């Protein structure tokens, strides 16, 4: 199976450790992913802000980059959601029938926990992370992709982990893409409540499947001097 | 009279004001979390809840696809049973029709059943202009009216008030509208309810005309349905001689048995009850019993505009349960006033732009952005309105409405980002600016972010450079 890694624009520029963790983890599980360097961004920020025309070249680049693969794996629920639920919309907007067809034919983009549990059929990935951790289910992975408790299945098998439940876990953290700056006051109010719930667990680490949400809540936890660190799911699963 | 939403600022600014009101935040958090729990419990009891949702959506979609036929059938059924049917294309026309009926009977006061649509058209204000007092009789609407306030929630319009505030409003304002509240009134709920009951009783017994909306209008039988909790609706619908009901054209359902689905969906979704206390249905005039002159005003006011929108038309399925408001993390923190409309929350964020069109005004254009697209509303909606998808579509409509002309900073930034991210060559070049870019953002720019959040540090190198340098970590 030819698998490509779509590392995401945010991870490429700001959180390369997450990308490295995915590579290391999958390698340990016997999967050598490719990183087609032509990749840039899935286009979600444009689509979700209403700039469909501006998303067209990005979707075109995405489809062309990953065309030869059987599957694409990405450490982001929101990017996987965008590829699966928004690329067809953007292609139709472009008016380019070839792009519409290419999107239809495109290999499926899996969020990491979906790939591990559904495609590789594993929940114990041989990880070791002896710390207290609390998990926040990011909204796109929870409601758009329906990953359910796959991330928790994976986390529960991590040796040494002390997994504590987060209060009001299902509630949105308040990032919401450009919402974080267009409606920054509401965004911060939501993130502050999420940060408070995180601190209440006594966990040293907040884990999630999206670095965008972690950047927002983590930014608040840092500003509060809470001592709680944020960590992407991939990095915990890659730890040994 | 109540205040007006006209001239309210766009959502980000209105939200900022609301977020600073800690009493409001506390009231909202307590009220919405209570209703959320009740709704969850009520829904969990119904094993076939998902089937009911699918059925509700299907019935409404069937109506919307053949709305012209069902409306004509409704008109005929109503007329066959002695009701007078009026058609109002917009708010002004609807108000003029209602005012005209009052004036033709020399009526100077009407009692009102809680009705969102009459607030949508500004009926109370229009009636006041021709010397007709419109007394709200729903407890929460009464609180809002006496407080010269604005409703902040579809189902519980005074959710932003706690009992102490309500007591103060009753004591200071009931006397101006009729029977005053007892001077020693406490904030005990039973006492507040009794004060409202006593104040309203004389109006129910005196009024010659009532104005209502309708939850549903059955085309087959010419039946209107009002679903309520307090009994004020029952009083208004049975005592006065003249009854006028303003009904949005999307409220039609085909047959009496279709109500089976909606009367299961609505109470559990709205108040979290198995069934609400008072459900009233009436089909035209029953000689010698109840109002002898029954009017139905069918209202468009932008609904046909929404109907023409292929993505957005499902918003017209809405049965006004308010479940979406109660699960929305944005609404919970900002309250309803920030949305500047009688329809706030997730449904308001899509309905207002759909009724008015994009590019109509800045405030309406800001509503589709008042959301993180978390999807909790879609999960809760009893008729499966895909609010997040509609929000994204409306955002594109707003952006398109502003294309051409001088691009705003955001539009220019998006164009630049699009160019940068269209090829990896351009992206690689820009990634060199990550470190200085973040340093700059920390210092002077990005206040919207850095006001309350730290920014991440720039990593030593982007992922793609690491991959290239180490051959994917193999070297």
B372 with A61: Cβ contact below 8 A: no
Q: CA–CA separation, A156 vs A165, rounded Å? A: 12
- Chain A residues with CB under 8 Å of B422 CB are 40, 57-58, 60-61
Write the Ramachandran bin of B288: left for phi over 0, alpha for psi from -120 to 50, otherwise beta: left
CB contact (8 A) between residue B452 and residue A139: no
User: With an 8 Å Cβ cutoff, is B417 touching chain A?
Assistant: yes
- State how far the alpha carbon of A48 is from the alpha carbons of A60, A89, A177, B28, B395, in Å: 17, 12, 8, 28, 7
Rounded Cα gap, residues B263 and B276, in angstroms: 9
Residue in chain A nearest B17 by alpha carbon:
A185
Strands B84-88 and B133-136: unpaired
Chain B residue closest to A213 (CA)?
Answer: B372
Question: CB under 8 Å to B143, separation ≥6 — which residues?
Answer: B149, B157, B158, B161, B166, B169, B170
User: Per-residue pLDDT averaged across B251-263, rounded?
Assistant: 98
Contact B81, B285 (CB under 8 A): yes
Quote the distance between the C-alpha of residue A64 and its chain's center: 21
Enumerate residues 2 to 61 of chain A having a beta carbon within 8 A of any beta carbon in chain B.
7, 9, 11-17, 19-20, 23-24, 27, 33, 35, 37-41, 43, 45-52, 54-55, 57-58, 60-61
Chosen for mutation from A6, A8, A13, A63 (greatest number of chain B CBs closer than 10 Å) is: A13
* pLDDT for B239 beyond 50: yes
Tokens, residue B168: 């103060």
- Whether the Cβ atoms of residue A42 and residue A7 lie closer than 8 Å to each other: no
Residues from chain B that touch A79, judged by Cβ atoms under 8 A, are: none
pLDDT per residue as tens digits for the range A148-164? 999 999 999 999 999 99
Q: How far apart are CA A102 and CA B261, in angstroms?
A: 42
Using the predicted structure, report yes or no on whether residue B367 has a pLDDT greater than 90.
Answer: yes
In chain B, residues with a C-beta closer than 8 Å to the C-beta of A24 are: 473
Q: What is the pLDDT of residues A39-86, one digit of tens each?
A: 999 999 999 999 999 999 999 999 999 999 999 999 999 999 999 999
- B378-410 pLDDT, tens per residue? 999 999 999 999 999 999 999 999 998 888 889
Alpha-carbon dihedral sign for residues A21, A24, A26, A29: negative
- Cα A67 from Cα A61, distance rounded (Å): 10
For B85, B112, B122, B155, the CA distances from B118, given in Å and listed in that order, are: 17, 9, 6, 14
Q: How far apart are CA B229 and CA B148, in angstroms?
A: 23
- pLDDT surpassing 60 at residue B3: no
pLDDT at B429: 87
The nearest CA of chain A is from the CA of B278 a distance in Å of 34
| pLDDT of B15 above 90 | yes
Q: Kindly state the average pLDDT of the residues B105-125.
A: 97
pLDDT for B156 equals 86
Could you tell me which residue, B278 or B157, shows the higher pLDDT?
B278
Residue of B372, B434, B441, B473 to mutate when probing chain A, most A C-beta within 10 A: B372
Determine the pLDDT at residue B446. Answer: 82
- What does each C-alpha distance from A145 to A87, B189, B342, B375 come to in angstroms? 15, 44, 33, 11
Task: For chain B, give the secondary structure using H, E and C.
Answer: CCCCCCCCCCHHHHHHHHHCCHHHHHHHHHHHHHHHHHHHHHHHCCCCHHHHHHHHHHHHHHHHHCHHHHHHHHHHHHHHCCCEEEEECCHHHHHHHHHHHHHHCCCCEEEECCCHHHHHCCHHHHHHHCCCEEEECCHHHHHHHHCCCCCCCCCCCCCCCCHHHHHHHHHHHHHHHCCCCCCCCCCCHHHHHHHHHHHHHHHHHHCCEEEECCCEEECCCCEEEEEECCCHHHHHHHCCCEEEEEEEHHHEECCHHHHHHHHHHHHHHHCCCCCCCEEEEECCCECCECCCEEEEEEECCCHHHHHCCCCHHHHHHCCCCCHHHHHCHHHHHHCCHHHCCCCCHHHHHHHHHHHHCCCCCHHHHHHHHCCCCCCHHHHHCCCCCCHHHHHHHHHHHHHHHCCCCCCCHHHHHHHHHHHHCCCHHHHHHHHCCHHHHHHHHHHCCCHHHHCCCCCCCCCCCCHHHHHHHHCCCCC
pLDDT at B444: 66
How many angstroms away from the CA of B74 is the closest CA of chain A?
38
Q: SS3 for B394-457, per residue?
A: HHHHHHHHCCCCCCCHHHHHHHHHHHHCCCHHHHHHHHCCHHHHHHHHHHCCCHHHHCCCCCCC
Residue pair B132/B109 in contact (Cβ under 8 Å)? The answer is yes
Under an 8 A CB cutoff, do B461 and A16 touch? Answer: yes
CA distance A122 to B160: 49
- Enter the tokens of residue A5: 């890694």
- The arithmetic mean of pLDDT across residues A20-32, rounded, is 98
Cβ-based contacts of A63 with chain B (< 8 Å): none
d(CA B198, CA B302): 39
**pTM of the predicted model as reported, rounded to 2 decimal places:** 0.96
- Can you state the angle between helices A97-105 and A52-65, rounded to 10 degrees? 50
Residue B358's pLDDT band (boundaries 50, 70, 90)? Answer: very high
What torsion, rounded to 10 degrees, do the Cα atoms A237, A145, B377, A164 define? -20
pLDDT of residue B2: 45
Tokens of residue A115, six digits = 């790939």
Q: Report B:114-133 residues touching A (Cβ under 8 A).
A: none
Residue B155's pLDDT band (cuts 50, 70, 90): confident
pLDDT one-digit tens code per residue, B419-458: 999 999 999 888 888 888 888 777 765 889 999 999 999 9
A102-147 confidence digits (pLDDT tens): 999 999 999 999 999 999 999 999 999 999 999 999 999 999 999 9
Residue B374 has pLDDT above 50, yes or no: yes
Nearest Cα residue in chain B from A225: B454
Predicted local distance difference test score (pLDDT) of residue A65: 98
Residue of A21, A59, A189, A226 to mutate, testing the B interface (most B Cβ within 10 Å of its Cβ) = A189
Chain A with chain B: Cβ pairs closer than 8 A:
199
Confidence of residue B1 (pLDDT cuts 50, 70, 90): very low
Whole-angstrom Cα distance, residue B224 to residue B284?
8
* Averaged pLDDT for residues B67-91: 98
Nearest to A186 among B330, B462, B464 (CB): B330
Least CB–CB distance from B398: residue in A38, A50, A61: A50
Q: Do A185 and B431 touch (CB under 8 A)?
A: no
């Amino acid at each position: 199976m030819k698998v490509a890694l779509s590392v995401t624009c945010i991870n490429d520029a700001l959180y390369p450790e997450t990308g490295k963790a995915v590579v290391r983890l999958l390698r340990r599980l016997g999967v050598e992913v490719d990183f087609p360097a032509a990749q840039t961004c899935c286009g979600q920020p444009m689509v979700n802000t209403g700039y469909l025309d501006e998303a067209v070249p990005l979707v075109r680049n995405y489809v062309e980059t990953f065309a030869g693969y059987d599957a694409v794996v990405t450490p982001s629920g929101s990017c996987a959601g965008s590829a699966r639920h928004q690329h067809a919309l953007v292609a139709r907007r472009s008016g380019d029938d070839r792009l519409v067809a290419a999107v239809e034919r495109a290999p499926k983009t899996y969020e990491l926990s979906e790939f591990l549990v559904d495609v590789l059929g594993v929940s114990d990935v041989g990880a070791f992370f002896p710390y207290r951790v609390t998990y926040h289910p990011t909204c796109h992975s929870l409601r758009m992709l329906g990953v359910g408790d796959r991330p928790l299945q994976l986390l529960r098998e991590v040796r040494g982990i002390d997994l504590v439940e987060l209060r009001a876990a299902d509630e949105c953290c308040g990032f919401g893409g450009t919402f974080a700056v267009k409606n920054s006051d509401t965004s911060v109010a939501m993130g502050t409540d999420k940060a408070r719930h995180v601190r209440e667990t006594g966990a040293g680490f907040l884990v999630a499947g999206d670095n965008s949400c972690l950047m927002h809540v983590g930014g608040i936890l840092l500003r509060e001097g809470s001592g709680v660190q944020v960590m992407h799911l991939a990095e915990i699963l890659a730890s040994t | 009279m109540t205040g007006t939403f006209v001239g309210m600022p766009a959502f980000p600014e209105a939200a900022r004001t609301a977020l600073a009101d800690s009493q409001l935040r506390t009231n909202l958090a307590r009220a919405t979390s209570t209703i959320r729990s009740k709704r969850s419990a009520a829904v969990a009891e119904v094993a076939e809840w998902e089937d009911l949702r699918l059925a509700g959506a299907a019935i409404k979609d069937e109506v919307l696809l053949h709305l012209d036929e069902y409306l004509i059938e409704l008109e005929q059924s109503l007329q066959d049973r002695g009701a007078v049917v009026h058609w109002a294309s917009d708010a002004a026309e609807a108000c003029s029709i209602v005012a005209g009926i009052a004036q033709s009977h020399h009526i100077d006061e009407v009692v009102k059943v809680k009705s969102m649509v009459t607030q949508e058209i500004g009926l109370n204000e229009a009636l006041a202009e021709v010397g007709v007092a419109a007394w709200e009789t729903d407890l929460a609407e009464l609180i809002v009216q006496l407080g010269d306030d604005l409703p902040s929630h579809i189902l519980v319009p005074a959710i932003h008030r706690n009992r102490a505030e309500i007591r103060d409003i009753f004591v200071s304002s009931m006397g101006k509208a009729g029977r005053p509240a007892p001077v020693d009134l406490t904030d005990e709920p039973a006492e507040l309810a009794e004060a409202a009951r006593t104040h309203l009783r004389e109006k129910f017994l005196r009024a010659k005309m009532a104005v209502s909306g309708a939850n549903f209008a059955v085309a087959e039988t010419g039946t209107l349905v009002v679903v309520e909790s307090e009994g004020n609706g029952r009083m208004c619908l049975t005592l006065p001689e003249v009854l006028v009901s303003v009904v949005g054209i999307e409220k039609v359902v085909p047959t009496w048995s279709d109500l089976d689905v909606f009367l299961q969906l609505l109470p559990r979704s709205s108040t979290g009850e198995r069934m609400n206390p008072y459900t009233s249905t009436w089909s035209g005039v029953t000689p010698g019993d109840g109002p002898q002159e029954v009017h139905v005003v069918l209202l468009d006011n932008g609904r046909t505009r929404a109907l023409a929108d292929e993505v957005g038309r499902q918003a017209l399925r809405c049965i006004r349960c308010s479940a979406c408001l109660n699960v929305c993390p944005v609404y919970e923190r900002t309250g309803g006033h920030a949305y500047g409309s009688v329809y706030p929350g997730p449904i308001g964020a899509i309905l207002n732009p759909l009724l008015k069109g994009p590019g109509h005004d800045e405030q309406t254009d800001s509503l589709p952005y008042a959301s993180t697209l978390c999807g909790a509303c879609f999960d809760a909606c009893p008729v499966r309105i895909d609010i997040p998808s509609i929000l994204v579509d409306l955002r594109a409509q707003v952006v398109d409405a502003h294309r051409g002309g001088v691009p705003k900073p955001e539009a220019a930034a998006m164009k630049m980002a699009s160019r940068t991210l269209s090829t990896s060559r351009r992206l690689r070049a820009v990634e060199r600016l990550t470190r200085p870019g973040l340093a700059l953002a920390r210092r002077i720019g990005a206040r919207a972010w850095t006001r309350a959040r730290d920014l991440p540090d720039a990593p030593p190198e982007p992922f793609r450079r690491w991959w290239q340098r180490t051959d994917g970590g193999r070297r």
